[in-house]
Structure 1
Amino acid sequence: MTVQEPLTLQRVGPLIAFAEVSLNLGRTTILDSVAFQVEPGSIHALVGPNGGGKSSLIKTLLGQMPHQGRLSLQWPGEPGVIGYVPQALEFDRGLPMTVDDFMAAMCQRRPAFLGLSKHYAGAIGQALERVGMQDKRKRRMGALSGGERQRVLLAQGLIPSPQLLVLDEPMSALDEAGIQVFERLLQDWRQAGITVLWIEHDLEAVGRLADRVTGLNRRVLFDGPPRQTLTPERLLTLFSTHPRTNGSAA
């Protein structure tokens, strides 16, 4: 009898290492010696209170904010593509911008008013299909629901095909159908070996879907598998205004 070895997923995403990363704006400490790692090809959630530094940490990763300490991406080969999905989209809803127009503006250098370039048309169509928005490509962005706009934001984060995805509360505006789409995408990214750093406030979703979770309230209060770290005591400490200095870590 032959025992088949389990298939090992190829990891195309990088390892992310935060080493004593600090950020101060004036006299305000935003991040205080943040240190943890995101394993390559993993779904890593970042949780914590509003104002706890989650989005600021993401901005340091994307090179948008100065910081102290060391932040490194260790790619398995040549540096790959980083995709980013913001929490929300602010725009004038009266603009006559269709979904196709928005995707063209975000994904190609050619001016959006000239339409989709042949180079990106196929990829844009596939991305919209994956998020269930293929049939609404000619709808105005301002006429979409909040959940539909969030799906379009997810689609733009897939072009070009990323090896690292940074998600800032992507579930915040999604309806039930959109949440199912997002959960399927997470599974696809895990199977593809893509590294995902995911800010999320839905702790139940984090517990089900993340491989690892870091609790951040200016500094790291815990870091480990969700089942071990998302305990009532640790969550109480995490979401308190002034976290205790001796917050335990897993």
Structure 2
Amino acid sequence: MNSAGAAPLSALQPKVSGPAIEFAGVSLSLGRTEILRHIDLQVAAGDIHALVGPNGGGKSSLIKTLLGQMPHQGELRLHWPEAPGVIGYVPQALEFDRGLPLSVEDFMAAMCQRRPAFFGISKRFRAAIDEALDLVGMQGKRKRRMGALSGGERQRVLLAQGLIPTPQLLVLDEPMSALDEAGIQVFERLLQHWRAAGVTVLWIEHDLAAVGRMADRVSGLNRQILFSSTPREALTPERLLALFSTHPRSTDHSPQGQPA
């Protein structure tokens, strides 16, 4: 075990080929409220691509369109290298009745297999669940009730369920929001793991320092895409001021806000 409380990375996730993602003129309105305005965005296959922007700027709505949960105009394409693969999703938080006698092990079983969790973990998934919990440092708390875990511990369990089955595309909605320092170390190691495995990661995040350290590319979204470039080019004071201002304005005039 390392200082973050997680086991060394192993062969849990073999080399995979994640898809490229293309948003072409994607718009979304709810009633008279415009949520997304003509989004043109490309996410390269195998990249860790971060979405940053203010609360209410449409980040979660954009990934919900990707997951097929929101109606939209425009086109959204997943360019799979071969047959369509697995899409994994890690939400920002888990809403449930904390009084339920649901253990970490039960939760993992319920998320990974079709048969009821009270029948136990099937042999098919046991090794994968064991290793996923080990990777996030939660193996020792697998019998603990989910309702008794801290927010950071629950977030680690959510990260673990995102590993099973092996995703080719992984969507992360503020996965660091409840993590303590040890949990952040675990998450950073997982990002390195996914990058090495070739997984395409679309990652919503408020921690701009973490984005600067770990993302391959960053897009700024405030109802519209204001920029999309490398962290060094994206996370400048001028661009961030424009991004987090009340009325979004573009800092570039080239497509997607990228340098011409």
Q: 1:232 aligns with which of 216, 228, 237?
A: 237
Instruction: Provide the residue aligned with 2:11 in structure 1.
Output: none
What is the 5 A alignment of 1:180-199? 180-199=185-204
Instruction: Provide the residue aligned with 1:216 in structure 2.
Output: 221
Q: Which amino acid aligns with 2:86?
A: V
Q: 1:134 aligns with which of 130, 139, 148?
A: 139
CA distance in 2, matches of 1:58, 1:103: 23
**Pair 1:247-2:222 in alignment:** no
Instruction: Provide the residue aligned with 1:39 in structure 2.
Output: 44
**Pair 1:88-2:93 in alignment:** yes
CA contact 1:11–1:40 (8 Å) conserved in 2: no
CA distance in 1, matches of 2:68, 2:75: 12
**Alignment deviations for residues 42-66 of structure 1 (CA, whole Å, 9 cap, x no partner):** 1000000000000000000000011
TM-superposed deviation, 1:37: 0.6
TM-score (norm 2): 0.91
CA distance in 1, matches of 2:78, 2:190: 23
Once superposed, which parts of structure 1, at least 4 consecutive aligned residues long, lie more than 2 Å away? none
**Pair 1:23-2:28 in alignment:** yes
TM-superposed deviation, 1:11: 6.0
Instruction: Provide the residue aligned with 2:79 in structure 1.
Output: 74
What are structure 1's unaligned runs of at least 5 residues? 1-9
CA distance in 1, matches of 2:72, 2:98: 35
CA distance in 2, matches of 1:93, 1:11: 36
**Alignment deviations for residues 75-101 of structure 1 (CA, whole Å, 9 cap, x no partner):** 111111000000001111111110001
Q: Which amino acid aligns with 1:172?
A: S
Q: How many residues align?
A: 240
TM-score (norm 1): 0.94
Query: Once superposed, what is the RMSD of the aligned Cα atoms?
Result: 0.9
Instruction: Provide the residue aligned with 1:52 in structure 2.
Output: 57
**Alignment deviations for residues 160-192 of structure 1 (CA, whole Å, 9 cap, x no partner):** 010110000000000000000000000011101
What are structure 2's unaligned runs of at least 5 residues? 1-14
